[in-house]
Structure 1
Amino acid sequence: MSAYVEALIQRQLERDRLRELIEDAETQHGPVDQAAVEAKRARLRGDAAGSVDAA
């Protein structure tokens, strides 16, 4: 059980750190363009909607 709890704590710490990195990047570069993110996700999945290059 303690290994499970330790894994949960580590995952939460990783998420907290990732959130900090995202906040720092958004402070420096502005908010993320959600449409661009979705277009790139679609390209990675090979969806037809993502076939247009959204740089």
Structure 2
Amino acid sequence: MGEPTGKYSITMPRDIAEAAKVRSGHSGLSAYVAAAVARQIERDDLNELIAVGEAEHGPITDEEIQSLRDQLTRVRREQAQHGTSAA
């Protein structure tokens, strides 16, 4: 994270904070929490995109989801065979 940083005070349940400290390792709690928040923002952004797409094209069906999962599985398998990694 090459971005400028700021210091913030947050409140969270003690058990979650302790588990995060244990898992954060050498990178530290701040980096661990920042990465978790970044992932949540990505998920929120994705959910907004899905909502816009569904508003325009209708809901995504279970069959469409499964088809995309199957495609992803095939691509990952092919990449593993060729020694490349999926993004």
**CA RMSD in angstroms, aligned pairs only:** 1.5
Q: Any runs of at least 4 consecutive aligned residues in structure 1 with deviations exceeding 2 A, and if so which?
A: 39-46
Tell me: higher relative CO, structure 1 or 2? Use CA pairs within 8 A at least 6 residues apart: 1
Residue identity opposite 1:37 in structure 2: I
Query: What's the secondary structure of 1:31's corresponding residue?
Result: coil
> What 5-or-longer segments of structure 2 have no aligned partner?
1-28, 75-87
Aligned length, in residue pairs: 46
TM-score, length basis structure 1: 0.69
> What 5-or-longer segments of structure 1 have no aligned partner?
47-55
Which whole-Å CA distance do the structure 2 matches of 1:16 and 1:39 have between them?
23
Which protein is richer in helix relative to its size?
A: 1
Q: Percent identity?
A: 43
CA deviation string 1:14-46 (max 9, x = no partner): 000000000000000000121132134235435
Bigger radius of gyration among the two: 2
